[in-house]
Amino acid sequence: AGGGRLLETIRKWYYNAAGFNKYGLMRDDTLHEDDDVKEALKRLPEHLYNERVFRIKRALDLSLKHQILPKDQWVKYEEDHRYLEPYLKEVIRERQEREAWNKK
C-alpha cells in the first residue's frame, strides 16, 4: 500500500511538472496526432471535440502571450480524465485486426 501511495505521489508530481495543465490542457490534448489519434478524434462526440479545440486554442493564446491560467483554473490531476482513450483503443484494435487480416 505504501508503494502505491508513493507511485501516485510521483504521478501527481510529474503531471504538474509537465506544465500543460497550467494552460488548461488535459493529458489527451497533448497526444501526438498520428493516424490512430486523428481517427479517434473523428469519432469523438461533438461536445468533447469542441471542448478540446477550445482548450487547445486557449493554450496557444496563453503561450503566445507568455502567460498561464490563474492557479484555480489549472486542470487538476484528479479532474483529468482520458476522454480520448476509449476511442483510441478501438481505433488501434481495428487497425491491428485489419493488419492481421491482410497478413493472411
Domain ranges of the chain: 2-103
Record the cell numbers describing residue 90, joined without a space: 478501438
Q: What is the pTM of this model?
A: 0.87
pLDDT of residue 3: 76
pLDDT of residue 26: 98
pLDDT of residue 4: 85
pLDDT of residue 48: 98
pLDDT of residue 44: 98
**Mean pLDDT by 10-residue block, N- to C-terminus, for the chain (104 residues)?**
85 95 98 97 98 98 98 96 98 96 89
Least Cα distance to 44 among 59, 61, 26 occurs for 26
Write down the architecture of domain 2-103 according to CATH: Orthogonal Bundle (1.10)
Question: Phi and psi for 75 in degrees, rounded to 5?
Answer: -75, 125
Q: Is 34 helix (H, G, I), strand (E, B) or coil?
A: coil
Distance CA 61, CA 103 (A): 46
pLDDT of residue 104: 79
pLDDT of residue 1: 60
Record the cell numbers describing residue 34, joined without a space: 498520428
pLDDT of residue 33: 96
Q: Could you tell me the CA-to-CA distances from 24 to 54, 76, 98 in Å, in that order?
A: 10, 9, 36
